[in-house]
Amino acid sequence: MDAGSQTGAQGITPLYAASAAGQFEVVKLLLESGGDANSRGIEYGSAIHAAARWRHWNIVNLLIENGADVRSPGGIDKFGTVLHAACWEDNVERVNMLLEHGADVNIRHEGSEYGTPLQIASHFGHLHLVRFLIEKGADVNERGGKYGTALHSASHNGHAEVVKLLLENGANVNSLAQEPLGASRPYGSESS
């Protein structure tokens, strides 16, 4: 049996399981034994998504070196792609590495809570990363996820510096969101 392409009883491969658990040496051994760097799993999409979700960036790098697709869609996890996960973590170096390996700065993941990488960075107030993504061509008016646009997300969470940067880069101040924002925090309530 191939070390990485057959699914187990739970619908995951050994490579996926090792990647999610951060088992670098095991991942390396499975890849050397013919494991498919793009093997799919259930929750996170593929081995590279699982590794990124749990911040096992040494494994992400190893999987990329072995042909993992940084543009592939994720699973049911709210972060979407590997680039989405890197933006959640606020690591410009990792985001840049993924872009250099072909990740799309404007990739949308319809099933994720945050539609685009820029929306994630804006949601969490990652000012330096927002600036970097815009410099790399991120569309400040791209819609997706439950927050509408990056400006909706930054505005909802009170990230004034991010809001200012988005506006300075052409974000539509009168854009309308499709859903109510902040089910966990009613409008007008104080943030904690």
Domains in the chain, CATH or no CATH each: 1-69 (1.25.40.20), 78-181 (1.25.40.20)
Yes or no: say if 115 and 143 are a contact pair by the CB < 8 Å rule.
Answer: yes
pLDDT score for 5: 45
- Give me 53's structure tokens: 């979700």
Yes or no: say if 139 and 145 are a contact pair by the CB < 8 Å rule.
Answer: no
50 sits in which H/E element: helix 47-53
pLDDT score for 155: 93
pLDDT score for 146: 79
Interacting residues of 19 by C-beta distance below 8 A, sequence separation 6+ = 27, 47, 48, 50, 51, 56, 59, 63
Around Cβ 167, how many Cβ atoms within 10 Å? 15
One digit per residue, pLDDT tens: the chain, 192 residues? 344 444 444 578 999 999 999 999 999 999 999 999 998 877 778 899 889 888 999 999 999 999 999 988 776 556 678 898 899 889 999 999 999 999 999 998 776 677 899 999 999 999 999 999 999 999 999 988 777 899 999 999 999 999 999 999 999 999 887 665 554 444 444 443
Phi/psi zone of residue 12: left (φ > 0), alpha (ψ -120 to 50 degrees), beta?
A: beta
Around Cβ 183, how many Cβ atoms within 10 Å? 8
